[in-house]
Amino acid sequence: MHTIIEPFRIKSIEPIYFNTALERKSVLEKAFYNPFLIHSNDVIIDLLTDSGTSAMSSNQWAGIMNGDESYAGSPSFFRFKETVQGITGMPFIIPTHQGRAAERILFEMIGGPGKFFISNTLFDTTRANIEFSGATGIDLICEEGKHPSIPAPFKGNMDVKALTQTIKEKGAENIPLIILTITNNSGGGQPVSMQNIQAVHKVCKQFQIPLFLDACRFAENAWFIKMREEGYADKTIPEIVHELFSYADGCTMSAKKDAFANIGGFLAMHSESLALQCRNLLIITEGFPTYGGLAGRDLEAISIGLKEVMEENYLQYRVRSIEYLTEKLVAAGVPVMRPGGGHAVYLDAKEFLPHIPIDQYPGQALTCALYEEGGIRSVEIGSLMFGKYDSGGKLIPATLELVRLAIPRRVYTQSHIDYVAEVVIDVFKKRNQIHGLEILEEAPALRHFTVKLKPITV
Partner 1 sequence: MEKRKRSWAEPYKMKMVELLKMTTLAQRKKALQEAGYNTFLIHSDDVYIDLLTDSGTSAMSDRQWAGMMLGDEAYAGSRNFFHLEKVVQEVYGYSYLVPTHQGRGAENILSRILIRKGDIIPGNMYFTTTRLHQELAGGKFEDIIIDEAHDPENEFPFKGNVDLSKLEKLINKYGAARIPYVSIATSVNMAGGQPISMANLKELRAFTKKHKIRIIHDMTRVAENAFFIQQKEKGYDKKSIREIVREINSYTDGATMSAKKDALVNIGGFLAVNDWDIFEEARNMVVVYEGLHTYGGLAGRDMEAMAIGIEESVSKDHIKARVGQVLYLGNKMLNYGIPIVKPIGGHGVFVNAKKFLPHIPQENFPAQALAAELYLDAGVRTMERGIVSAGRKPNGENYFPKLELVRFTIPRRVYTQAHMDVIAESAAIVYDRRKKIKGLKMVYEPKYLRFFQAKFEKLQ
Using CB under 8 A, list all residues that contact partner 1. 12, 14, 35-43, 46, 48-49, 51-54, 64-65, 67-75, 78, 97-98, 100-101, 104, 125, 128-129, 132, 262-263, 279-281, 283-289, 291, 293-298, 377, 443-446, 449-450
Residue 15 CB, nearest distance to partner 1 (Å)?
11
Which is closer to partner 1, CB of 214 or CB of 286?
A: 286
- Residue 205, classed as helix, strand or coil, is helix
Asked if 232 and 194 touch (Cβ cutoff 8 Å), the reply is yes
Least Å from the CB of residue 297 to partner 1? 7
- Packing angle, helices 21-30 and 362-374, rounded to 10: 140
Distance of closest approach, residue 217 Cβ to partner 1, in angstroms: 16
Residue 296: which region, alpha, beta or left (left: phi > 0; alpha: psi -120 to 50)?
A: alpha
Integer angstrom CA distances of residue 263 from 211, 328, 383: 26, 32, 28
Element (H, E) at 253: strand 250-254
Nearer to partner 1, 358 or 453 (CB): 453
Given a contact cutoff of 8 angstroms between Cβ atoms, the answer to whether 55 and 8 are in contact is: no
CB of 318 closer than 8 Å to CB of 222:
no
- Minimum CB separation of residue 356 from partner 1 in Å reads 24
Minimum CB distance to partner 1 smaller for 338 or for 377: 377
Compute the least distance from the CB of residue 276 to partner 1, in Å.
Answer: 8
Q: Which residue lies nearer to partner 1 by CB, 139 or 298?
A: 298
Q: What element of type H or E holds 379?
A: strand 379-381
Helix, strand or coil for residue 453? strand
Select 74 or 119, whichever has its Cβ closest to partner 1: 74
| 224 close to 342: Cβ distance less than 8 angstroms | yes
Pairwise CA distance, residues 275 & 268, whole Å? 8
The residues that bridge with 213 in the sheet, in sequence order, are: 180, 251
Instruction: Decide whether 98 or 121 has the Cβ nearer to partner 1.
Output: 98
**Distance separating alpha carbons of residues 153 and 338, to the nearest angstrom:** 9
Query: From the CB of 56, what's the least distance to partner 1, in Å?
Result: 9
Shortest Å, Cβ 450 to partner 1: 7
DSSP 158: B
Q: Which is nearer to partner 1, 328 or 409 (CB)?
A: 409
